Each structure stands twice: as structure tokens, then as C-alpha cells.
Structure 1
Amino acid sequence: MSKKQGKLTIHTTQQGAELGDLFGIFFEDLNHAADGGLYAELVRNRSFEFDPIDHRDFHALTAWEKVERGGGRAELSIEDSQPMNVRNKHYAVVAIHEAGDGVGIMNMGFNTGIPVRAGENYRFSFYARRDESLNEPVRIAIESKTGIVHGEAVVVVDSAEWKRYEAEMTADETNFSSRLTIVTGGTGKLYVDMVSLFPVLTYQGRTNGLREDIATLLAELKPKFMRFPGGCLVHDGSLNPDDRNSMYRWKNTIGPVEQRPSRRNNWSYNQTLGLGYYEYFLFCEDIGAKPIPILPGGYDPHHKRIVPIDELGPWIDDALDLIEFANGDPSTEWGSIRAELGHPEPFGLEYIGIGNEEVGEPFFERYTYFHRAIKAKYPAMKIINSSGPFAAGGEYERGWQSARENGSDLVDEHYYQSPEWFLANFDRYDGFKADEPKVFLGEYASWGNTYYNALAEASFMIGLERNAHAVGLACYAPMLCNVDYVNWKPDLIWFNNHEVFGTANYYVQKLFMHHQGDRLLRIEASGFEEPLSVETKPINGAIELGTDASSVLYSNVKIVNNDTGEERTFADWTAELSDTEEARQEGKAKRFERLCETAWSNYTLHMSAKRTGGPRGFVVAFGQADDNNKLFWEISGWQNQDSAISSRVNGRGSCLTQSLFTVETGVAYELALEVSGRKIRAFINGELMHETEDRLAVIRPLYYSSSVDGATGDTIVKVVNMQGVGVSSHIELEGLPTVGRRRAESYEMSGHSLEDENSFEQPRKIAPVEREFSFDGNEFAHEFPPYSLTVFRIS
């Protein structure tokens, strides 16, 4: 069955906005995306610097074990009195009591262990010294869990001073759960630091390089840019660059890897910084992506750490020095450092971002100083401002206001929403102006890696393309996830220690990157059936009052029908709720209490609310069909600094609007929630806090865009069908000759269940099918299958 045939007309001579660098990728070291992921190092905790500051369960010997063989006895300890360097002070000491058949240490690697493949070579290195037995061999081996040796080498630690030793091993068997052992005999003590094992086969063969399979999957996307190194990782930390938990400071990430300080990763693990700024720039160059580094702006919104204005100089210098490091002539200070690292040519940096998801006046006050200094020295540099992690609201507007006042080139928007939100907001940027700062959609995803999620995102991306006058850059996030270290999902690419696969979302991104085009072409539809509107129903249903991690008291509750003036009062109704840790431990926790159901479509809910204990505040659920389908007003959300209105559809949430607000214990607040159809307003103590609309998706007959590839002259057409039936269409390329045979290619994703996903077992279950075809003249017919994405590239 298919819908009534319509027509898509592409006006090939009517060009629109430039698409520029629209689609790219975003890298942040969460989900072990770097260490244990893209960064090819196979040894975990290689410099014995793991610490409880990284994760409460970590210590200096995490991932290490003592080895004692054939009657050997040894003591394994950690010291820091005579370090290899002052930035990584810890090292392992093997005190040999009885040599036996050998004593030493063993590293467990990431995931199931150290992966090796038969016939492949592995480069081992470490720093070591010993106080006795300087001629005693040290045996290095890759072994199975049961001790079967898959590859080995011997080095002689012949010095009482720290010295680097290297060896290469060839694996004779494939084993993804191996161990690395360092074993010796003799007497005295063996001192070990900076133990490393890399596959020789890294991406582009670089030493200190990247895991080939993951890097190749990224390169195959052909992204226009890569944003790095985060993410909240950028700004969550102390102000002192020498602190273990400092904000991300790029100067700590270049130079010899053994001298790069370990860092607390804010996703609760250790970050070696082996994958640093130089490596990021090299990778961008290798895959043809423009680098977009993001730097902290002197403000940590997580912990309210703020650099005084008169102390911003070093932070601004960091930004200016980074630009010089990337672009400066080798005669400059930082350009010479880049040249010494092996890259005398500039990297051609065009963009720089200041801040990530910042909220609060302190950041925007400081941003101005960065912006002015960068533009004064590098007027052509495109500077990216921030608008917080919400799609709308007070902080979002503050970010845009800052961008307009400062003349920012782009504004970094972030949001993670339900697929229904993306469909409902396909036209989000239609009203944005071409003469204002452009949108950098620096993080976005719908909640899930199913085929349905991917199609919803494809529909939204067509909206991004069609608004290229206002949207300059966009990248899905997060990009990488190690299946054994999940901090966040969904993710674009999933991997373990030896396999990797792209999700359905990945293949959507790949199609849009491969077939972006250089300029929009005018495209119009005619003759299709009207959009499939979800029944426009008002927000009504159950109302519940609740809390999150706190104790609260509700009273003086009433609902007013704004059409008739009718009131429902709950004069004798109170709700005393508690969701504190103590209440949970005692089994007395109660998060919500139902107030009533309402069928009214235009009403105002009034109540008094007081927090009596705990760190957060109030939650008002309304329009509730069940726990997975409702709206809620959360007052004093994350870190007691937010008031936000959100929706939940099929268990997947979308924040509709947010503003800053802090709840104080013992203070009574007068709350009012006004609902009119699907429009919502919220008041605290009579002051308007929120005004938003929970839009329902209107499924269009087709979602479509067209562009021209400047290099080839090809016309590109993208079409998404979000309906459960096929849609027949006539495609006319107006402006092309009407006679002669024309070649074309199509790339189609179709024929899948909406809940289908890719996996290690079926990595390309959902992937585009390519085919070539030809047609006469400038038009052809096509039926777009149910739930499909189709890309045409027409010569």
C-alpha cells in the first residue's frame, strides 16, 4: 500500500545558502572513549597513578597483580620518593625475596584483558631501574589467563638510574583476554614505571597512536570537523592547572607522554592525557576534519569555582597560545613547540570554542574578555559561545544575548530529547536569522540507538540542512562507548577491546556527511496528502505532587478552570513526602502523592510548597497518562540550581525549558502552573518563571532537502519517509536538460523494524543499501518505502 503520488521539484539553477562545514563529529573522553578506546594503549594504569580521587575504588595498583612463580617470593609496593619525573611520582617496586622461577607484576588491561591477534606485532616499553643484579634478564610476555605465552621478549635493566627500555613482540595466537607480565630473577629490587604496550598497527602507523578499527570507522564518516576534548570534561575541575582534578588545560596534554600528568576524569575514572591536543590535531588532519578545540572559560558551573576577573590573564593566554600552537610560524614560541613535536606546518585552525554548556552570569561576564582578546589578535578566528544544555529558557536566552552583544560567530547549543521532540521540532530553526550568530549544534541525540531514533534524527537533520543560513555546524553526541564502561547512552559507536560497530544513528550521520553538498537547492513538494497530525489534545490527566532526594510539604492546593472560573479546592489536603537517603534506608521513602485527575484543557494549579530537608526540591507531575508518559515541573533540579519543565514520552524525556532557581529549606513558595491546551506557564511567588509549549509531532508526507556538490556538479536529494506506508513521488530536476540518459546513485535505509538495532553480532543489520540507476531526461518516479531514508546523487 502506498500514499497518493505527489511531486518533488528540485530547481537546480536556484541555489541557496552555503552548507559549509555543517556536519562533523564530537569527541569527549567519557565511556572510556580515549583510554581503553580510541587511544591504542593496551596497559591500564600504566604509570601507577590511579587514585581514589579518580574513583573511590581506585588505587595505585588497580589493574596490576603480583607474580610469583616456581617458589619465587616477592613484595609489591608503590613508592614516590625517587620518581622518574615530578609530574607522575608513583612507581612500582618489586622487592625480590626468593627468585624461584621469576617474580614480578602483571597487568590486566581493559575490558576482558589485553587483546592480541596472531601474526601482529606489539611494541612494549617501560622505564625501569634496579639496585642489584644489573645483568639479570627481565622477561616480558603476553600470556593467556592460564599462563600460555603468546609472545615474549627479554630486556636487561642495566642501570640504577631511570632508563627507558623497548622491545617488540609478535603474537602467535589470537586472544582477547591476555595479560602482560614483567618477570625477573636475581636479587634486590626492580623499580618500574610508565609500562606501555601498543599494537604496531595503529591508525596511519603513528606511535602513541590510535586504535585502527575505531579510527577507521570515524574516518569513514568523512566529517567536516571534530569538536574536542569535551563536553563537561572541559570545565569541571579546580582552577589550579597543577591539581590532579584541575579543569582540562591543554598545555598539560602535549610533550612526552611520560611527563603528562594524570588527570581525574569527571566521568569517574583516570585520564592519562596520552591522547592530547597534538594527537587531536594530527587525527583531524589525518581524516580531513577541521579541528574545533573547546577551552574552559574560567568558570566551573558544577562547583561554582570562579576565576576573579583580574586573574583571567593566564586563561586568556591559554587560548591565544593554543591558536599560535596550531597556526603559528615555527619562529613563534608555540609554533616552534609544534614544530619540535614533528609538525612544522600549521594545522590551519579556524574555530575555537570558549566554555561548554555554561550556565550563570559568571561565565558570560568572563566570555567577553576572551572574545575581545582573541578577535584583537586573530580577527579571522571564528569564536563559539555557549547557551547551556537546554533547548530553551532563561540560560539559553542569556547565552544568545551574550553572543549577540559580543558578535560571537556561533552559539553552541546542546540538547538530548525524545525522538518525538525531534519530529515535533523539525522546523526549530526556520525563524532564525542569517545575520545573527550561527547555531553550532554541538551535542544532540534522541534517546536511543534504534532504527526509529535514527530516522527521527535524519528528519531533524534535514531541517538543519534547510536552515543552513542559520545553522553552521552540527555533531551527534556522544560519539564513542566502551560497552564495559558505560557512563552515558545512547552513543554513535560501540566497542569492546577487539570489536567495534556503528549504530543505525552512525549510518544516518555517514549518509549526511558523504552527501552534504556545498549549496542548498530550492526544492518544493506538491500533490502529497496533508501532514499526519497526531490528534491535538490538551494537556490533561493525572496530577501528582512529589520530590526528588528531599523532604517537602505541600498545602493550600486548588485548581481553577480558566474558562469557567470553577474551582476545585483541596483545603484539608496536605502531602508530606520524603525521598532522602535516610528515608530510603529506613524504608519510609515516598516520592509522589496523587492529587487528582482533570479533564480540563485550560486550568491553573495553585499550591504552597516548603522543603523541610534534603538537597533538592519539588516535582509537579501533570498531564500524566502513566509514569512513562507525562509532563513535570521540577523545581530545584540538578545541584539545586534549576527550575525546568520537561515531558516524557514512552519513557524518554525532553526538557522543554529551564531557568536558574535555588530552593531554600524552610521557606514557603507559592507555586502556580497554568496549562492552556498544550501551552504552559509556571510562576513562583507570582513571578513568571517559564513559558513554553509541548508540541506534538506532525508527521509530514516526506521530509526533504536538496543541494549541489560544487566539485562534481552532482545534484543531491535527501528524503525521509516517517510514515508506515510507502509514498509514491515524481522527482523533477528542473533546469537540467530534458533529453539524454542520466546516471544516478541511491543510498537507502529501509525495511527494518522501528526497534531494530545494530550489534556486535550484526554490526550492519541497519546500513544503507547502494544501487546505481539511470533515467531519461530530467525526471523519474520513485516510491519511498515505509520508514525510510533515501539519498539520491544525480550526475
Structure 2
Amino acid sequence: MKTEGTLTIHTQKRGAALGDLFGIFFEDLNHAADGGLYAELVQNRSFEFDPIDRTDYHALMAWEHIERGDGKTVITVEDSEPLNDRNPHYVAIDIVAEGDGVGLMNLGFNSGIPVKEGENYKFSVYARRETSFDVPLIVSIESTNGIIHGEAEIAVNHSEWTRYEAVIKSKATDSSSRLVIVTKGSGRVYLDMVSLFPEKTFMNRPGGMREDISLLLADLKPKFMRFPGGCLVHDGSLNPDDRDSMYRWKNTIGDVTQRPARRNNWSYNQTLGLGYFEYFQFCEDIGAKPIPVLPGGYDPHHKRMVPLGELMPWVEDALDLIEFANGDISSKWGRIRANLGHPEPFGLEYIGIGNEEVGAPFFERYPYFHQAIKEKYPDIKVINSSGPFSAGKEYERGWTSAKENKSDLVDEHYYCTPEWFLANHHRYDDFKADEPKVFLGEYASWGNTYYNALVEAAFMTGLQNNAHAVGLACYAPMLCNVDYINWKPDLIWFNNHEVYGTANYYVQKLFMNHQGDQLLEIKANGFTVPEERKVEAITGAISLGVDASAARYSEITLVNNVTGEVKTYSELSEEVSNLPDPAQNGTAKRTLELGETEWESYTLNFKATRTAGNKGFVFYFGKADDQNHLYWELGGWQNQDSIVASIINGRNSVLTHSMFTVETDVEYDLKLEVSGRHIRTYINGELINETEDKLPIIEPLYYTASVEDSTGDIILKTVNVQDNSVSAEIILEEMVKKDLSIEVYELSGYQIEDENNFENKELVYPKQTNFTTMGSSFSYEFPKQSVTIFRIK
């Protein structure tokens, strides 16, 4: 084989330790917990669904009443004599006429309650009744056309709340079943905490995790798991007893009947049945270190903040959590953990404070947490936050805070185009080893195609090569129920009875299964160096628009920064709007079009005033079409942002971000400067954003090498994103053993648009081969668009 270049691995020259580099991130969005990883099959089991969760929710969501034969019933939800005060609602079944039985039916998640032939299902309920104590409840799992797959009888023989259990064995496989509860007799029957779990959960834990999803996660062999989010960490009321409180960990432990239902900020109900004890236990079960993330006393979604003088209970919550995880049984919270069934400590090493935080209030509060944790638990690694984007003033504020406070890690998040990831492959090359390390807590390239996975693999080689500065990294989001989508792409997709990993999943699995413990020096020689790409200036159409607002623009000029030529648009000073306006009959002007420019360096000057609405302005430039352009958005998310972003093939990369709020009837003097691919924005003469829209330079190969201490194996990861194969000689310098046994794990031979799905769950799937060498080098042809991992035994 004629080789184009060499990859030389210096097997005795070790670099940075890889530590806990690659892991996973869990957030309860896309019904990732209830209806997902948490194996409960009953939806709305405690009748706590409420419009505060989502406007169309009510206490009988997912329930229907049953009247069989001549039966008549009235179903009501009450709260006067609750099982407990934290879950006040329960259902009352008023038996008007018994007929052949009356009661309730639960519809489950997705298409219904999934059951498998021959398997057992654990039913439980809290119940009481007024009379007819000798008349049982009949609990059955039924098909949509009434075929009984299995049933049990329960004698509710108390007038006080009592827990009852039964095991139901299914006689059929059906993913669209219903849980039916009926009774006869007279009077009223009261039910609460109606539950059905498969007996076969992950690790066979009662009330545990769904097995198929858990096995996919365990197969990743992640070094860590970050939980419980995500935006749901800090979005909510400051009062832990409020129905829509922030995520407070103490609400999530102990008896599930005592855990209050919570408004999930992704617009559904969160039972908290999957709580902090279960998270820690699950991490232990899959061999991942837990990384809990706590709120820092500030809700940037609604600008709610704990006064500094009242912050100590929040700080103590963090200290108590560490004690809950690590304290011995003589400590208060260690004893609570032991009473829950885990006397041994969980061995917590990391804790995060805040998520995607923006604004001064969080960074005023963070030091109180950091100092208290370090004073009491100096070995715990504390993670700071740097906002939701990859650059800008809030990102820099987070890093400044981390350096000032000596945070151990800084949580970075970004969702960007594949082109952005390729252009930023060397993002961390110049980060310093003696500063806080990067925790890349959320990232993805806006898609689940093979090409997305390929590009992410290339980027991950850069993460590994910069292990001196990058401590942790995890793709996000992790789970998505196909019928309850809040966000995509996602690592794993599922319905109520099936699950599959995406192409991205298999890239993550390859990198986690074959991480290694320490970098090895690796050098490339002889490959064709990419041609220096001529910097293409940002040219194209320019327009001024609005976002959930109406605005007036005036005094618009476009100046050529090289020649001084000025274009004026005095005729364009009318109002634009994207607000509903019946008087306009849907014809309101949404943008002012300024036409195209081929100038490579220009300044757009104009004045803007919001006349109505609750957000701000959007200014488009470098526009080829609706799917390819750049924009400056002012008064974006929650009317708090000023961002510059790039759209490529309809996918978005936020290039930089600052804080700014637009006010109605205030005139702003705005300026957009574009020079080549460098962009600056100004508001009233002040520089607000500055960035560069980098173009990707495709490298011949992306590569990284490591050694695994337990086996001594040398691991080489190589990614070829090109549309042609690349031949290379792999040389293992200082290798004592001359005859090598090599395992190869490879993703190749796929179309870039290929995606796994329920019909073809392993369309994109790594293949394994083996070969041996007669010396300490070998040749290999890396297929086009491939991910190849060598494990050299």
C-alpha cells in the first residue's frame, strides 16, 4: 500500500492524564425521566398534573372513567383528606350504580402501557373506601379492545389510607395496553399513588430504571454522569415548598409519596420519583462518577434572586448534599442515606453550582458556595458556569469568576453547526494547564446523521489532545421520547417499548470504551497539508427585522470602509412588525430590505425604536438565502441578549453573546461593522459584540493517542472527514514488543445523511476486526468519512 504520510506514536512519551474526560449528561427534558428512564408505567399516578405545568394539564390527565354494564360513577379529584400534604390530590370514585364495575383507566405514556408475555408487573396503590369492604378492586392490564392480559384482586378493607400491592403476569405482548381499576359495591372508593412497574428493571431494583435504556447507557462505560439538568436546575420559585419551585434536591429523596410534584420547565409534570438517591445509585450501577448540579440562588429566566443575607440555607443545601453523598452514618445526612438503603458513601468528587448562568447576580452569589464548600470539603472539585454560548461577555464573566475564585472547572455549553465544530477543532490548544479546566457540559452539532457524528468525533480528538485543559466533556441532550420532543438532536431515542442509539451515540461509545488514561505524544508527517483557504469576506443581502415586536428604523446608511462610499436609504423609514395585526390582514412588513453588497468591509449605521412587543430586533447580513446568512439579534431570549450568529443550511451557531434589554419607545443608535469575517456591533457608541465567523479548514486526519494503565494497551483514535480515503503508516516508537495484536473498531461505509431509526436501529454501527503485525509499524487505509480506533494490545 502506498502511504500518504505517517502517524508516529511515541509510546514512552506520556502527556496529560485523561482522568474522567468522557461522560454523559442527564436532564429531564423530552420526558427523559417520567415516561423514560424512570420505569413507572402510569402517567399522572398521584393526580397532581396542573395547569401550572402546562396550560392544558388537569388533575385527571391520562385517566378515563370506566362504566361497565349498567354501572354509573362520578369521578372527582379532592384534597380535603390527603395521603399527605405534599401531594394533596387524590381521586374519589363515587359508585352511583355498580353495574359490571366502575372505576378508572390509565393511558400510560406514548401508545399506552407496554407489557411482555410472561413477565410480571408490580402494581401498588394507596386506597380507602367508605363501605363494601368485602368487595375487591379488580386491577387489570387490558388491550385497547378489552382483552385482559392479566389481572389481580385487591381487598380494600380500611377506611384509612393503606398501601396495597399485587403482581400481575401478562399473558401477551402489547405496547398499547391500559391499566384498568374497577370495583362494585356502594359508597365511595378513594385512590392515590397508583403505580405499575415492570418487575424486571435495571439491576432488578424496585421502583427503578427502565432496563433497555439503562443498558444502552451502561454500555457507554461513561466516566461520569451530570444531573439533574440543564435549565430545570434554576428555573423556578425560590421557595422550596412552592409547586413551581426551583429543583431542590431535598424534595427528591425518601418515600416517593412524600416527594412533591414539580413543574418541569420543559412544560410538563415531574414526579421526582427519579430523585437524588436514585441518581447516585444509578451512577454507581453503571460505574459513572456522579456530578450533581445545584442552583446558585438565582433564576435568570425570571430574574428572581435570593438576597445575599438569606443565601446561607442555599449554601447549606450544597454542604448537606456532599454529606448525604459522602458522610459516614454518624452524620445527619449520611445516616439519612444509610436509612434509604446505602450505608456506604457514594464517593462524590464533583459538584456544580449553576447552569448556563448569565448576569451579575449569579456571579455575586457563586463565591459564597465555593468558599463554604472548599472550607469544609477541600477535595471536592467545584464547577463554575460560563453561560449558554461559546464566547462573549457573559462567557468571559464566567471565566473571570472561575479564575478569581479558583474554581476547579468551568461548565461550557454550545450547540453549533458541523462547520463551526470543524472550524474550532483547535479551540482549546492555547488554554493553560494551571487554570480552571474546561467542563464541556453540553454540546452537539445539530443533527443525528452520520455526518454529525463524524464531525463530533473529529472535535473529540481535539478535546482529548487538550486534556491538559479539558477535564470533562459530555454530549447533550442524552434522551428523547419520540412522542414528547422538547429538543433535538439527542443521543438516544425511545418510545414506550423500544430504544435505539444514534450515530452520535456510537461515536460517544467508541470514545468512552477506548478512552485510555494518559495521552501519548503523536506526530503526523507527510500528509498533504490543506491549502490555505482564501478568506471569503461576508457579503450578500442585508435587512432589518424584528422578533416578537414592531419597530421603526431611520437614518440608515451603509459605508464602504475602504473607499468611503456611502449609500443612504432615506426612503426606508417605515415600521416593520411580526406581531399579529388583523388590520393589516397578514400583510405587515416584516423586514426592510437594503439589497445586496459585495463590499468586503462595511459599516451599517441606523437608528431603531421598538414601538410594540416584548422582545427586540433582528438584523440580517451576509445573506445568501433564508437557510444561509448571519444575523445580529438584539433583545433576544427573555429580552436579555445581544447575539451574533451564523446560519448554515438552516442550522445555527451563536458566535458571541452579551446581555442587553430593549425598551419600548427608546431610540437606539446602532452600528454593525463587517470586515472580512470579523464582526463588531455597537449600541449608542458602545462595543457590545465582537467575533469572527471562522471557516473550517479540513485536516487530512484528526487523531489522538493514549495508553490504558490497566491493560497497557495503546489506543489510537483517527477520524477522516474527507470524501476520499487516506493511507498512512502507523509507527510505534520505543515499542519493546515487535509482534502486535491489534483490534480495530470502525465506523465507515455510510452515507453522510444516514440516521438510525426504530426500523433500522443499527444502520450506523461500528464494526470490529482484528489483525497482527510482524513489527512495530503497520499500514492502514482510512476509508473516506470514517472513525477508526485501534486498540494495540
TM bracket, shorter-chain basis: over 0.9
Using the TM superposition, give the Cα deviation of residue 584 of structure 1 relative to its aligned residue in structure 2, in angstroms: 9.8
Letter aligned with residue 242 of structure 2: D
Letter aligned with residue 333 of structure 2: W
Using the TM superposition, give the Cα deviation of residue 591 of structure 1 relative to its aligned residue in structure 2, in angstroms: 2.2
Q: In the alignment, what sits opposite 1:754?
A: 752
Deviates more, 1:532-541 or 1:683-692: 532-541
Does the Cα contact within 8 Å between 2:738 and 2:774 map onto a contact in 1? yes
Counterpart check, 1:612 vs 2:605: no
Matched residues in 2 for 1:604 and 1:655: separation? Answer: 21
Q: In the alignment, what sits opposite 1:208?
A: 207
Counterpart check, 1:673 vs 2:672: yes
Matched residues in 2 for 1:333 and 1:581: separation? Answer: 57
Superposition map of 1:686-765 within 5 A: 686-737=685-736, 740-765=738-763
SS at match of 1:723: coil
Q: Deviations over 1:281-334 (max 9, x none)?
A: 000000000000000000000000000000001100100000000000000000
Q: Which runs of 5+ in 2 are unaligned?
A: none
Superposition map of 1:208-227 within 5 A: 208-227=207-226
Matched residues in 2 for 1:584 and 1:267: separation? Answer: 34
Matched residues in 1 for 2:692 and 2:366: separation? Answer: 31
Q: In the alignment, what sits opposite 1:340?
A: 339
Q: In the alignment, what sits opposite 1:438?
A: 437
Q: Deviations over 1:149-178 (max 9, x none)?
A: 001000100000000000001100000000
Q: Deviations over 1:576-629 (max 9, x none)?
A: 200113469941343222102111111111111111111111111111111111
Q: In the alignment, what sits opposite 1:790?
A: 788
With over 3 angstroms needed to count, the CA separation of the structure-2 counterparts of 1:458 and 1:312, relative to structure 1, is same
Q: In the alignment, what sits opposite 2:260?
A: 261
What percent identity do the matched residue pairs reach?
67
Does the Cα contact within 8 Å between 2:149 and 2:171 map onto a contact in 1? yes
Q: In the alignment, what sits opposite 1:565?
A: 564
Using the TM superposition, give the Cα deviation of residue 712 of structure 1 relative to its aligned residue in structure 2, in angstroms: 0.7
Matched residues in 1 for 2:580 and 2:638: separation? Answer: 16
Letter aligned with residue 222 of structure 1: K
SS at match of 2:314: helix
Letter aligned with residue 44 of structure 2: N
Using the TM superposition, give the Cα deviation of residue 532 of structure 1 relative to its aligned residue in structure 2, in angstroms: 5.3
Q: In the alignment, what sits opposite 1:553?
A: 552
Using the TM superposition, give the Cα deviation of residue 668 of structure 1 relative to its aligned residue in structure 2, in angstroms: 1.2
Matched residues in 2 for 1:382 and 1:115: separation? Answer: 42
Does the Cα contact within 8 Å between 2:394 and 2:657 map onto a contact in 1? yes
Superposition map of 1:18-33 within 5 A: 18-33=17-32
Counterpart check, 1:316 vs 2:329: no
Superposition map of 1:463-482 within 5 A: 463-482=462-481
Letter aligned with residue 760 of structure 2: Q
Matched residues in 1 for 2:59 and 2:549: separation? Answer: 37
Using the TM superposition, give the Cα deviation of residue 548 of structure 1 relative to its aligned residue in structure 2, in angstroms: 0.9
Matched residues in 1 for 2:258 and 2:439: separation? Answer: 35
Q: In the alignment, what sits opposite 2:287?
A: 288
Q: In the alignment, what sits opposite 2:34?
A: 35
With over 3 angstroms needed to count, the CA separation of the structure-2 counterparts of 1:599 and 1:71, relative to structure 1, is same
Letter aligned with residue 748 of structure 1: E
Does the Cα contact within 8 Å between 1:583 and 1:589 map onto a contact in 2? no
Q: In the alignment, what sits opposite 2:368?
A: 369
Matched residues in 1 for 2:173 and 2:337: separation? Answer: 38
Matched residues in 2 for 1:57 and 1:572: separation? Answer: 47
Letter aligned with residue 773 of structure 2: F
Superposition map of 1:134-533 within 5 A: 134-531=133-530
Letter aligned with residue 791 of structure 1: I
Matched residues in 2 for 1:582 and 1:9: separation? Answer: 66
SS at match of 1:573: coil
Matched residues in 2 for 1:486 and 1:166: separation? Answer: 33
SS at match of 2:347: coil
Does the Cα contact within 8 Å between 1:622 and 1:630 map onto a contact in 2? yes
Does the Cα contact within 8 Å between 1:3 and 1:727 map onto a contact in 2? no
Does the Cα contact within 8 Å between 1:3 and 1:726 map onto a contact in 2? no
Q: In the alignment, what sits opposite 2:683?
A: 684
Q: In the alignment, what sits opposite 2:117?
A: 118
SS at match of 2:390: coil
SS at match of 1:363: helix
Does the Cα contact within 8 Å between 2:476 and 2:490 map onto a contact in 1? yes
Q: Deviations over 1:94-113 (max 9, x none)?
A: 11111111111110000000
Letter aligned with residue 753 of structure 2: E
Letter aligned with residue 772 of structure 2: S
Letter aligned with residue 232 of structure 2: L
With over 3 angstroms needed to count, the CA separation of the structure-2 counterparts of 1:240 and 1:650, relative to structure 1, is same
Q: In the alignment, what sits opposite 2:131?
A: 132
Matched residues in 1 for 2:697 and 2:532: separation? Answer: 4
Matched residues in 1 for 2:534 and 2:589: separation? Answer: 35
Q: In the alignment, what sits opposite 1:64?
A: 63
SS at match of 1:151: strand
Matched residues in 1 for 2:331 and 2:749: separation? Answer: 57
Does the Cα contact within 8 Å between 2:740 and 2:775 map onto a contact in 1? yes
Matched residues in 1 for 2:542 and 2:2: separation? Answer: 40
Pick the aligned partner of 1:779 from 774, 777, 780: 777
Matched residues in 1 for 2:96 and 2:433: separation? Answer: 75
Q: Deviations over 1:746-774 (max 9, x none)?
A: 01101111111000111111011001111
Matched residues in 2 for 1:532 and 1:134: separation? Answer: 84
Letter aligned with residue 618 of structure 1: F
Using the TM superposition, give the Cα deviation of residue 566 of structure 1 relative to its aligned residue in structure 2, in angstroms: 1.5
Using the TM superposition, give the Cα deviation of residue 667 of structure 1 relative to its aligned residue in structure 2, in angstroms: 1.2
With over 3 angstroms needed to count, the CA separation of the structure-2 counterparts of 1:486 and 1:141, relative to structure 1, is same
Letter aligned with residue 753 of structure 1: Q
SS at match of 2:220: coil
Equivalent residue pairs, number: 793
Superposition map of 1:602-681 within 5 A: 602-681=601-680
Q: In the alignment, what sits opposite 2:577?
A: 578
Matched residues in 2 for 1:584 and 1:659: separation? Answer: 36
Does the Cα contact within 8 Å between 1:532 and 1:699 map onto a contact in 2? no
- What value does the CA root-mean-square deviation take over the aligned residues? 1.1
Letter aligned with residue 741 of structure 2: R
Matched residues in 1 for 2:63 and 2:122: separation? Answer: 19
Matched residues in 2 for 1:516 and 1:249: separation? Answer: 34
Matched residues in 1 for 2:513 and 2:382: separation? Answer: 26
Q: Deviations over 1:383-423 (max 9, x none)?
A: 00000001000000000000000000000000100011000
Matched residues in 2 for 1:312 and 1:298: separation? Answer: 7
Q: Deviations over 1:124-154 (max 9, x none)?
A: 0000000000111111100001110001000
SS at match of 1:741: coil
Q: Which runs of 5+ in 1 are unaligned?
A: none
Matched residues in 1 for 2:93 and 2:424: separation? Answer: 61
Using the TM superposition, give the Cα deviation of residue 567 of structure 1 relative to its aligned residue in structure 2, in angstroms: 1.5
SS at match of 2:321: helix
With over 3 angstroms needed to count, the CA separation of the structure-2 counterparts of 1:586 and 1:242, relative to structure 1, is farther
Deviates more, 1:15-24 or 1:571-580: 571-580
Does the Cα contact within 8 Å between 1:38 and 1:211 map onto a contact in 2? yes
Does the Cα contact within 8 Å between 1:532 and 1:700 map onto a contact in 2? no
Using the TM superposition, give the Cα deviation of residue 3 of structure 1 relative to its aligned residue in structure 2, in angstroms: 9.6
